[in-house]
Structure 1
Amino acid sequence: MSLWGRITGWIVLLFGLGYFLLPLLGLTEFSLKARRGVYSFDAYAKIIGDPEFQATFAYSITMALVTIVFGVLLVVPTAYWVRLKMPWARPYVEFITLLPLVIPAIVIVFGYIRLYNTSSFLPLTGSIMGTNLLLAFGYTTLALPYMYRAVDTGMRTIDVATLTEASQSLGAGWVTILGRVILPNVVPAVLSGAFLTFAIVIGEFTLAALLNRPAFGPYLARIGANKPYEPFALSVIAFGITWACMGLIQLANRFSKHTKAAQ
């Protein structure tokens, strides 16, 4: 690469970093000004000590874990079966998993309310458990494009057919093959999809708000309308959670590479 090309690359990199980091630094700096004249973590202390924050954050974490379980149970067998027995269906499955990217969440949630209201044949919105189940299904749908692609990419790195034939020759059934042979080999890919799912659930607003569930996203919106400094502190916390998930994805991918190199 020529000297001019390197200089141009550094200029573009520095511009991108500045465009990304300067607003974040301004946001963080303002969140520390809750006490006049000095920097302090008063806004963070108020947020973390708020019982509503604790309740909504715990609820969203619980829903994220439930969503991850639903996603793994749905995506891993599907990706495995498509790769092993139905390669012709791959374009159709990929198209279906991409639909949540083009169908707004508000359309999904209004469809849920219309189909599962108290006057329907399956009145899930009539109980807390049913509404929580609808919310988990909605989160699973929103995370489907990311979870499926992560798992499908992991499936490409292993010889699914050989592993299946070897397991069947030893007398293993389909559940054993999926749970004890295929899943352990795609754990890094599953973790990548899981962390992306976690980040999506923590920040999601539309589904939780319209289903009237005490999630973190609606709480963030309410705080933003009524408090001066706490919303900025909460935004920094949410941003940190998201980037922590991204870092864990990188660690999972690096662990996967080291494991394969050791083998």
Structure 2
Amino acid sequence: MRRFPLFASLVALLCAAFFLVPLAATVNFSLRMRRGEISLDAYASVFRDDTFLSVLGFSALASLAAIALGALLVVPTAYWVRLRLPGLRPLTEFLSLMPLIIPPVVLVFGYVRIYGTASVLPLTMSEAGTNLLLVIGYTVLSLPYMYRAVDNGMAAIDIATLTEAAESLGASRLRTIATVIFPNVRSAIMSGAFLTFSISLGEFVITSLLNRPAFGPYLVQMGQDYAYQPAALAIMAFAFTWACMALMDFFATRKPGQGLLPFLRRKSP
């Protein structure tokens, strides 16, 4: 008979407790706004604030834009390096890790310096340009995770054979990437998208220094002014992030032509 993995189970329980105990404590604290009672007053107070939904929507849109931009940059790059330039893989891996070395505050000050008032391209002088810089900043911060996920996905498929098969059928290189490579690394892209969304939603340094109405600075400001509402905001951000991840995973695993409505019709009696 196989022995029960006691040590592995203990390590798993300790890791789970490391994440779940602070989460449970935060949930408990967020329900204690009314002295001596459990209530949802903190959550109701957050929803009564008109700023909450606007900053949450802004952060979600910026995060999704960063996911799209990251996928458009990383997938063709990883594909071309693996297919034609394997000798450059160490260099691309090193460059993809640079955002882990350079602090975000240095990155955003570089953006302001390059794209400020004295620049040829003064992006910080307009709201749309500043939003673009924010999305680029989110993309750069998530680049190590997106590139690693996509590169591992590329390693799991034979991109050379797929490319030769597509080209033998008359597909151009761009069409090969769009219709053959992207679908085959879709799960890897989604893994990178999950991490990108989590990082972007709560990012504070770049967002605050660019003065954007996003969720990170709003959460910090609420923490300075209130006690229970920030705990409620943290729990709602956690739930919102996981809900968005579940939706992205659902639509990523659906076959072409299978949207949400056919799924609901099939599930309904």
Say whether the fold is shared (TM-score over 0.5): yes
Aligned twin of 2:263 = none
- 1:209 and 1:130 mapped to 2: Cα distance? 15
- Aligned-residue Cα RMSD (Å) equals 2.3
Q: CA deviation at 1:154?
A: 1.0
Q: CA deviation at 1:247?
A: 6.3
The count of aligned residue pairs is 255
Quickly say closer, same or farther: Cα 1:13–1:66, change in 2 above 3 A.
Answer: closer
Stretches of structure 1 that go unaligned for 5 or more consecutive residues are 256-263
Aligned twin of 2:37 = 38
Quickly say closer, same or farther: Cα 1:45–1:179, change in 2 above 3 A.
Answer: same
Aligned twin of 2:69 = 70
Aligned twin of 2:222 = 223
Corresponding residue SS for 2:150: helix
Aligned twin of 2:202 = 203
Is the CA contact 2:190–2:249 (under 8 Å) kept in the aligned structure 1?
Answer: no
Stretches of structure 2 that go unaligned for 5 or more consecutive residues are 255-269
Q: Given residue 197 of structure 2, which amino acid in structure 1 is its aligned partner?
A: F
- 2:113 and 2:124 mapped to 1: Cα distance? 10
Does 211-220 or 64-73 show the bigger shift? 64-73
Identity of aligned residues (%): 53
> What is the TM-score of this pair, normalised by structure 2?
0.87
- 2:94 and 2:130 mapped to 1: Cα distance? 28
Is the CA contact 1:188–1:252 (under 8 Å) kept in the aligned structure 2?
Answer: no
4+ runs of 1 displaced by more than 4 Å?
Answer: 242-255
Q: Given residue 234 of structure 2, which amino acid in structure 1 is its aligned partner?
A: S
Is the CA contact 1:125–1:131 (under 8 Å) kept in the aligned structure 2?
Answer: yes
Quickly say closer, same or farther: Cα 1:209–1:23, change in 2 above 3 A.
Answer: same
Quickly say closer, same or farther: Cα 1:77–1:208, change in 2 above 3 A.
Answer: same
Corresponding residue SS for 1:88: helix
Deviation sequence 1:192-229 (CA, Å, 0-9, x none): 11121111110100001000000110000000000111
Quickly say closer, same or farther: Cα 1:132–1:250, change in 2 above 3 A.
Answer: closer
- 1:44 and 1:170 mapped to 2: Cα distance? 57
Deviation sequence 1:153-207 (CA, Å, 0-9, x none): 1111111111111111111111110111111111111111112111111010000
Does 84-93 or 148-157 show the bigger shift? 148-157
Is the CA contact 2:134–2:206 (under 8 Å) kept in the aligned structure 1?
Answer: yes
Aligned twin of 1:258 = none
Is the CA contact 1:189–1:253 (under 8 Å) kept in the aligned structure 2?
Answer: no
Quickly say closer, same or farther: Cα 1:157–1:249, change in 2 above 3 A.
Answer: farther
- 1:147 and 1:12 mapped to 2: Cα distance? 28
